[in-house]
Amino acid sequence: MPSWQHHQLLTTHAIARSLPLSSQQFREFAGENQRISQKMVELTPEEKKTLITRNLQETLGEDKLTKVLKERDLKIYWGTATTGKPHVAYFVPMSKIADFLKAGCEVTILFADLHAYLDNMKAPWSLLELRTQYYEQVIKAMLSSIGVPLEKLKFVKGSDYQLSKEYTLDVYKLSSVVTQHDAKKAGAEVVKQVEYPLLSGLLYPGLQALDEEYLKVDAQFGGVDQRKIFTFSEKYLPQLGYEKRIHFMNPMALPLAVPGLAGGKMSSSEEDSKIDLLDSPANVKKKLKKAFCEPGNIADNGLLSFVKHVLFSLFKEGEGFEVCREAEHGGNVTFLKYEELEQYYAADKLHPGDLKATVEKYINRLLEPIRKIFETPALQKLSAAAYPPPAKVKAGAAPAAGADEDAPHRLDIRVGKVIEVARHPDADTLYVLKIDLAEAQPRTIISGLVKFVPEQELEQRLVAVLCNLKPSKMRGILSEGMVLCTSNADHTIVEPIVVPEKAAAGSRLAFEGYSGTPDEQLNPKKKVWEKLSVDLKTNSEGLAVWKDNFLLTPEGEKLSSKLANCAIK
């Protein structure tokens, strides 16, 4: 085993088990950190600035950055709301944090637990503490996985200071000068947008601005989607007598997209859109196999984004992106610069399958130390408690404590694209539809729309599909779901729900205000669909709702129908 891997393994296991390193191991660890520190001291302010700003999309306050670096090391914070499980895209900010540390910066990682609750209650209050603990463990494991020393890192929980008298008073002061328009605008790219926003979402940007002052930092780091919050902070902190901070912006979370989310960002709430940090090698292979990776396409390619923003920032001098191929397919090739790889791929000299196989190799190298850390019983227990398994009620069993049997998040409703329409050979009123749901194979779904919708209107149409009904045979053909439609009272008019044109096949639809994982399969004996469908309808404007909560795409667009005030079945 190479020495750096040996050191990495010792360090990660020590963190995971909270055990001290042996004397010899500690001396090795301290010696390496000392060498790293010496390298930091040798960097000039200009070299530090280059390291701090490389691969960023934008920096606000560059003059101030230059001034601070001439005087001392920079103090930076990065905050993350403790909502969904961190996934492989988190290596993007982690690799940038590694740059900050190499440049000698003092870095604070804020676990924004109150923010997680304020953002439309994405994290239930009862799970906030557990999720914060999970985030701390997994982020430490990620940093150790990429060989980042932790002695200049500080971890802070938002609720440890955001409930203080002083902070609360500043929230009130801020609310007296901030307009509702500015608060809503600042959170537009970050806070979940709904027609009737909760007051909590309007507080979110102000709290993030105040964090800069209460964490006593020079700069805040985030994605470019945070830009409006950053400019909000620059405008309003001085009105409270506080200093304007520097802001660093990464490109948006990389779009390692599978079919249905091609070009969209990786999402914790969309299981098929992300690679989990604890995914097995088999799951990594399965997800990458389905990832969107068009030959020659470098503009909308999540795999290349990952290579650029993570792998190349972690490679040591002389290391490169090594693609292993059979001789008849071009043989092995190593790229020492990302630009070389991008040009090579754009020229169709690298097959998508070879790119996927190589990225798979590097992802598994990053994930293996994390998997090993989370093999410990204590961390397995923490993971299960912070992110309870899907609400799946077995026949004859009672629901889990706190589970809401009548909540619509249990319905797995996805956007599908009809790619084939045929008449059922044994039933004049039924269509046999082939529907693309961004799965390995299109689903066969039987629909009774023959009397209501001509074949040509269904072909290539986007539809809303209930995907977790138990498959059942209809006149001898297995149906694997149901196309959701509206119908008038006497069932003389039936229309499929209208899906926004920009929605991608395979993306999951959700009801406003309800988060959670759908049941793997609805239990027919429990009549879950029958109970929930009673309140599923269109409102007076023809918008699809469940108890007045809109049915939304991941982008927040509403689904509708030509029929108002009608049931959806």
- Residue range 380-437, pLDDT digits in tens: 999 888 887 654 444 334 344 334 456 899 999 999 999 999 999 999 999 999 999 9
Where residue 27 falls among pLDDT bands split at 50, 70, 90? very low
Q: Of residues 150 and 130, which shows the higher confidence score? A: 130
Q: What Rg, from alpha-carbon coordinates, does the chain have?
A: 26
Give the pLDDT band (50/70/90) at residue 447: very high
In sequence order, what DSSP letters do the residues of 456-491 get, joined into one string? HHHTT-EEEEE--SPPEEETTEEE--EE-EEE-TTS
Say what the pLDDT of residue 234 is.
96
Architecture of 408-568 per CATH? Beta Barrel (2.40)
pLDDT value for 555: 85
pLDDT confidence of residue 165 = 96
- Rounded Cα gap, residues 539 and 547, in angstroms: 10
The predicted pLDDT at position 403 comes to 43
Report yes or no: 558 and 501 within 8 Å, Cβ to Cβ: no
Strand partners, 379: none
Q: Taking the model in full, what pTM does it have?
A: 0.60
Residue 13 pLDDT > 60: no
Q: Is the pLDDT confidence value at 109 over 80? A: yes
CA distances from 88 to 267, 284, 307, 542 (A): 10, 10, 12, 39
- Residue 204: its pLDDT value, please? 86
pLDDT reading at 320 higher than 70:
yes
Residues 224-271: tens digit of each pLDDT: 889 999 999 999 999 999 999 999 998 864 444 333 233 444 444 445
Q: Is the pLDDT of residue 551 over 60?
A: yes
More confident position, 139 or 395: 139
Task: Give residue 384's pLDDT.
Answer: 87
Assigned superfamily of 45-250: HUPs (3.40.50.620)
Look-up of token digits 């759908």: 518
Angle between helices 23-42 and 91-102 (to 10 degrees): 70
Q: Is the pLDDT of residue 561 over 90?
A: yes
Fold of 281-386: Tyrosyl-Transfer RNA Synthetase (1.10.240)
Tokens found for residue 473: 């045979």
pLDDT of residue 263: 43
Residue 83: pLDDT over 90: no
* Distance in angstroms (rounded) separating the CA atoms of residues 255 and 243: 35
* 3 state DSSP class of 85: coil
Contact 309, 224 (CB under 8 A): no
pLDDT averaged over every residue in the chain: 83
pLDDT in the model for residue 305:
85
Taken in order 215, 218, 221, 227, is the CA torsion positive or negative? positive
Residue 5: predicted pLDDT: 42
Report the chain's terminal Cα–Cα distance, integer Å.
59
Whether 63 shows a pLDDT value over 90: the answer reads yes
In the chain, the percentage of residues whose pLDDT exceeds 90 is: 53
CA dist list (Å): 479 to 358, 413, 446: 38, 16, 5
- The confidence score (pLDDT) of residue 113 equals 87
CA distances from 562 to 418, 549, 567 (A): 19, 18, 12
Instruction: Name every residue whose Cβ is closer than 8 Å to that of residue 183 and which is 6 or more positions away in sequence.
Output: 202, 203, 205, 206, 232
Contact 84, 268 (CB under 8 A): yes
Q: What is the pLDDT of residue 359?
A: 94
Asked if residues 222 and 79 have their Cβ atoms less than 8 Å apart, the reply is yes
pLDDT at 425: 92
Give ∠ CA 468-471-477 in degrees, rounded to 5. Answer: 145
Give whole-number Cα distances, 112 to 81, 129, 154, 167, 526, in Å.
Answer: 5, 11, 14, 15, 38
Per-domain residue ranges for the chain?
45-250, 281-386, 408-568
Q: Which residues pair with 248 in a beta bridge?
A: 59, 221
Q: Give the model's confidence band at 172: pLDDT under 50 very low, under 70 low, under 90 confident, else very high.
A: very high
What pLDDT does 59 receive?
96
Question: β-pairing, 75-81 with 219-223?
Answer: parallel
Please say if the pLDDT value at position 11 is more than 70.
no
DSSP secondary structure letter of residue 22: P
- pLDDT, tens digit, for every residue of 522-542? 988 888 898 898 889 999 899
pLDDT at 360: 94
Angle at 75 between CA 72 and CA 77, to 5 degrees: 170
Residue 20 pLDDT more than 50?
no
* Residue 548 banded pLDDT, cuts 50, 70, 90: confident
Mean pLDDT of 168-173: 96
Query: Per the structure block, which two tokens stand in for 32?
Result: 């390496």
Confidence at residue 179, expressed as pLDDT on a 0 to 100 scale: 92
Average pLDDT over residues 88-94: 88
* DSSP label at residue 504: P
More confident residue, 166 or 13: 166
pLDDT of residue 293: 87
